[in-house]
Amino acid sequence: MGKPMATRLLQAGLSVTVWNRTRAKAAPLATLNAHIADTPADAVRDAHVVITMLEAGAIVRDVIAQAEAALRPGTLVIDMSSTRQSEAQEFHARLAARNVNFMDAPVSGGVLGAEAGTLAIMAGGSESDFTRAEPILKLLGRPTRVGPAGCGQIAKLCNQLIVGGTLGIVAEALMLAQAGGADPAAVRTAIRGGFAESRILDVHGQRMLERNFLPGGQVKSQTKDLENVLIAAASGGVRLPLAELLTELYRTILDVVPNADQSAALIALERMNPGKRVGDGPDQLP
């Protein structure tokens, strides 16, 4: 995600310094006039705005620890990773102690959305910080402030819950069609345009029919997000029974195909129903 996002900022004429744990991944951005930093501290030393896009909260914490001494008072740190709400609130408090502002702004839309600048951006932070960040975020997609720091992560979890739940239902629908003697591909075509139409049915329904499980979003990421949904639900004092079932479904394949696309929910369902399989082609797996 980071490379296409940084590319859009560079193409808009911004002065951008980049750092990656694997330097070779950042190196191609030098052709777009990015400055390549050797350390997180070097990357943020002269920055007015810092954006992090990392795998999980623990890694965000580690990078902040490496960079924070070099952050100037008044700098705005925008974490666009997917983390727990409690982690985002922790980062906010930690940086506030240094007079550094913080927003969590996770995204949805995948690599294609990052390349096209059409990401859905769910921002948590003060109104003044959002106003300051908005012109930059609009280069990456459609930003919406959803509440104070930490609330961006709640919005992202809502997104992932809907995505994961719809993936599971589409997989069940295709299997039901197959088990009932109908052509799953024809059933998908027949119901498109009705109330069941969705981006998931369009994109991932086709992937399931083709048994194309090359990522995209990954099983391990979807499972992580669903685990965080349950943690947030417990923190908020609510029970989400469908989220519990969905998390268990993904857990069954987490050790089997962790890097497969999240549409591998179909594989999890087939493992629960031996002898039942949607489509005739071989599985395309990473």
**The one catalytic residue among 156, 220, 224, 276:** 156
Separation CA 68–CA 82 (nearest Å): 20
The CA angle 57-58-63, to the nearest 5 degrees, is 95
Residue 156 among the catalytic residues: yes
CA proximity to 270, closest of 227, 191, 208, 201: 208
Report the 10 Å Cβ neighbour count for 33.
10
CA proximity to 83, closest of 166, 152, 179: 152
SS3 77: strand
b (16+ CB within 10 A) / e for 78-108: bbbbbbbbebbbbbbebbeeeebbbbbbbbb
Measured in whole angstroms, the distance separating CA 127 from the mean position of its chain's CA atoms is: 23
**Which positions are catalytic?**
156
